[in-house]
């Protein structure tokens, strides 16, 4: 038994439980932001602690069903970073909700635990339970604004559709178990590598693809995203867009790069088709959006398409490109969602037209939006450029020139809609005349994410090295 393999999960869990218990003992703990500060401090110490965990060698907890390899550790650190940002964004955002603030912060810990379990699971049952833990917590977080009908509707939608997609995923898993008699990844891949392809196996692959595709918002399993993103509290939308999606990707990577490796000829054509659809739908529908959060939802769908280019490339560099892209995607999205949070705090709205004249109200916020959106659009010197360059180069390198060209072409469309938003924000007049109030915590989130976006863009070396090392050890 190796406790260090689950130390981060245990820490996250204990902090979550502690937050609940403190809330039960001290009523003021639940109605104030104390829980949030505690959460942020706890998460930061977890992040620092995680740096001292051995990253180079793979550790297992009890048996090979639960591993902590460098891939898992990377994703866990990614999740912790997201959670820190989300909690910091929430502090001021939750002001109108004085009742259960403590529970909100506790729930973020449970979501985090679920994601971490997904990152480390090397066996389908554990993976599934981790996924459910995450999903369930997100449902609660999504419905957090109970007074807001949209929030409740989003939560219900997310719950029911997740249940359906979980059913599909479970069916696929049961088929795999029926075909191989195994549940852990390495045993299954051993069986697969000598076995032949049966029609039911194709079913299993497709069902797993749909179940995980639902979490990463792959078209046509994306339809919940805009509605849920719109209804959820904005910091939670950021958590969903970055954290939940990254958790989906780590499972995706483990399953498709490892378990299903002998069957690339089966799932690759499907994956390519879905990627093309994802790129098309995400980029083109984003053009027609009027709500910032729906807009960012479609943009995040488009980004899934770009990231999947790395899966399609199916190489070590492709994997490292995915990991690298997820890092910069995190900072760019957090910047954008922090911007939306600030907008909501100050104006109460989140339509794109509400951005009009923002420059005069808050140049700072405008610059943050500018940097984040430029990074999402992939313009140098922001990190988005080098990330896209990396992904596209690797896709072309592996012979998918047409796909890379399509993605590049659609990223042009993306530039257009990002610029539309930027244009609205720079020109135009607003009804608001007084300067925006941006609380310190939110300001800090924005500064850090913008600085990282520019920083990774200017000096990507350390980050690509990190991604490459992880990809190397995973392969």
Q: Which residues pair with 121 in a beta bridge?
A: 66
Residue 334, interface with other proteins (CB under 8 A)? Answer: no
* 91, 216, 307, 317: residue in contact with other proteins (rule CB under 8 A): 317
- Measured in degrees and rounded to the nearest 5, phi and psi for residue 121 equal -60, 130
Q: Which of 137, 333, 362, 441 binds other proteins (CB under 8 A)?
A: 137
Minimum distance from residue 469 beta carbon to other proteins (Å): 10
Binder among 157, 187, 430, 455 for other proteins (CB under 8 A): 157
Residues counted in the chain: 475
Question: Which range binds other proteins by CB under 8 A, 243-251, 340-348, 382-390, 430-438?
Answer: 382-390
With CB under 8 A as the contact rule, the residue among 332, 404, 448, 450 that binds other proteins is: 404
| Among residues 27, 54, 409, 435, the one that binds other proteins under rule CB under 8 A | 409
Q: Supply 355's token pair.
A: 């951005």
426 binds other proteins (CB under 8 A): yes
432 binds other proteins (CB under 8 A): no
In 3D, which of 229, 243, 235, 232 has the Cα closest to residue 90? 235
Q: Other CB atoms closer than 10 Å to residue 449's CB: what's the count?
A: 26
Whether 30 contacts 19, CB under 8 Å: no
CA distance 233 to 67: 33
The interface mask with other proteins, positions 191-230, x = CB under 8 A, is -------xxxxxx-xxx-xx---x-----xx-xx--x---
User: Does 220 sit behind a cis peptide bond, omega within 30 degrees of 0 on the bond before it?
Assistant: yes
Please give the structure tokens belonging to residue 102.
């403590």
Question: Which CB atom, from 96 or from 434, has the smaller least distance to other proteins?
Answer: 96
Pick the closest to residue 329 from 382, 366, 278, 287 (CA basis): 382
- Least distance in Å: CB of 177 to other proteins? 9
Q: Which of 19, 68, 165, 362 binds other proteins (CB under 8 A)?
A: 165
Please, which of residues 21-80 interact with other proteins by CB under 8 A? 61-63, 65-66
> Which range touches other proteins (CB under 8 A), out of 69-77, 82-90, 448-456, 464-472?
464-472
Q: Could you tell me which stretch among 77-85, 337-345, 404-412, 438-446 binds other proteins (CB under 8 A)?
A: 404-412
Nearer to other proteins, 5 or 241 (CB): 5
Residue 222 and residue 214: Cα distance in Å, rounded?
6
Query: E-assigned strands of 356-447?
Result: none
Q: Pick between residue 300 and residue 441 the one whose CB is nearest to other proteins.
A: 300
**In the chain, what is the straight-line distance between the N-terminal and C-terminal CA atoms, in Å?**
25
What is the distance between the alpha carbons of residues 390 and 413, in angstroms, rounded to a whole number? 19
Distance separating alpha carbons of residues 90 and 30, to the nearest angstrom: 14
Instruction: Give the three-state DSSP class for 121.
Output: strand
Report how many residues bind other proteins under the rule CB under 8 A: 114
**Nearest residue to 142 via CA among 132, 157, 127:** 157
- Binding of other proteins at residue 345 (CB under 8 A)? no
Q: Is 353 a residue that touches other proteins (CB under 8 A)? A: no
Selected from 26, 31, 32, 153, the binder of other proteins by CB under 8 A is: 153
Per-residue burial over 238-273, b if 16 or more Cβ lie within 10 Å, else e, is: bbbbbbbbbbbbbbbbbbbbebbeebeeebeeebbe
Binders in 90-109 for other proteins, by CB under 8 A:
99-100, 103, 106-107
Closest distance to other proteins from the beta carbon of 332 (Å): 16
Of residues 54 and 409, the one with the C-beta less far from other proteins? 409
**Which residue lies nearer to other proteins by CB, 54 or 220?**
220
Residue 468 in contact with other proteins, rule: CB under 8 A: yes
Q: Does 420 bind other proteins (CB under 8 A)?
A: yes
Rounded CA-CA distance 351/111 in Å is 28
Query: Which string of x and - marks every residue 115-134 that binds other proteins (by CB under 8 A)?
Result: --x--xx-x-xx-xxx-xx-
379 forms part of the interface with other proteins (CB under 8 A):
yes
CB-based contacts of 385: which residues, under 8 Å, 6+ apart?
375, 378, 379, 457
Q: Which is nearer to other proteins, 85 or 390 (CB)?
A: 390
Question: Coil, strand, or helix at residue 383?
Answer: helix
Per CB under 8 A, contacts with other proteins among 257-286 are 266, 269-270, 280-281, 284-286
304 binds other proteins (CB under 8 A): no
Q: Token pair of 380, please?
A: 């140098």
Among 49, 54, 380, 435, binds other proteins (CB under 8 A): 380
């Amino acid at each position: 038994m190796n406790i260090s393999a689950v130390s981060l999960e245990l820490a996250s869990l204990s902090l979550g439980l502690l937050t609940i218990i403190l809330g039960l003992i001290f009523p003021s703990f639940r109605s104030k932001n104390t829980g949030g500060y505690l959460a942020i401090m706890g998460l930061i110490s977890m992040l620092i602690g995680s740096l001292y965990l051995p990253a180079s060698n793979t550790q297992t907890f009890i048996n090979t069903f639960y591993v902590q390899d460098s891939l898992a550790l990377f994703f866990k650190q990614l999740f912790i970073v997201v959670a820190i940002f989300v909690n910091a964004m929430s502090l001021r955002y939750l002001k109108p909700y004085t009742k259960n603030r403590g529970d909100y912060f506790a729930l973020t810990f449970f979501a985090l635990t679920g994601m971490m379990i997904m990152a480390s699971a090397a066996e389908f049952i554990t993976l599934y339970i981790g996924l459910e833990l995450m999903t369930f917590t997100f449902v609660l977080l999504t419905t957090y604004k109970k007074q807001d009908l949209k929030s409740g509707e989003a939560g219900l939608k997310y719950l029911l559709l997740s249940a359906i997609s979980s059913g599909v995923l479970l069916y696929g898993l049961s088929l795999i178990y029926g075909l191989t008699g195994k549940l852990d990844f390495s045993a299954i891949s051993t069986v697969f590598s000598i076995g032949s392809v049966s029609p039911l196996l194709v079913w299993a692959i497709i069902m797993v693809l749909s179940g995980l595709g639902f979490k990463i918002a792959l078209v046509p399993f994306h339809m919940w995203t805009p509605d849920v993103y719109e209804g959820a509290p904005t910091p939670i939308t950021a958590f969903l867009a970055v954290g939940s999606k990254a958790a989906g990707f780590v499972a995706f990577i483990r399953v498709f790069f490892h378990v299903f490796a002998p069957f690339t000829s089966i799932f690759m054509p499907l994956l390519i088709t879905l990627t093309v659809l994802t790129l098309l739908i995400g980029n083109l529908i984003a053009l027609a959006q009027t709500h910032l959060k729906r807009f960012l939802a479609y943009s995040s769908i488009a980004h899934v398409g770009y990231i999947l280019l790395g899966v399609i490339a199916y190489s070590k560099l492709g994997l490292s490109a995915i990991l690298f892209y997820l890092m910069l995607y995190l900072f760019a999205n957090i910047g954008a969602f922090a911007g939306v949070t600030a907008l909501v705090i100050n104006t109460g709205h989140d339509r794109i037209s509400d951005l009009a004249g923002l420059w005069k109200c808050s140049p700072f916020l405008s610059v943050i939006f500018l940097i984040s959106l430029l990074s999402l659009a992939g313009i140098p010197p922001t990190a988005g450029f080098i990330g896209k360059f990396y992904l596209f180069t690797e896709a072309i390198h592996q012979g998918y020139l047409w796909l890379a060209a399509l993605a590049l072409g659609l990223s042009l469309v993306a530039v257009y809609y990002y610029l539309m938003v930027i244009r609205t924000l720079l020109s135009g007049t607003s009804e608001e005349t007084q300067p925006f109030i941006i609380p310190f915590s939110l300001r800090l989130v924005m500064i850090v994410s913008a600085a990282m976006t520019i920083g990774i863009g200017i000096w990507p070396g350390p980050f690509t090295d990190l991604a490459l090392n992880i990809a190397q050890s995973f392969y």
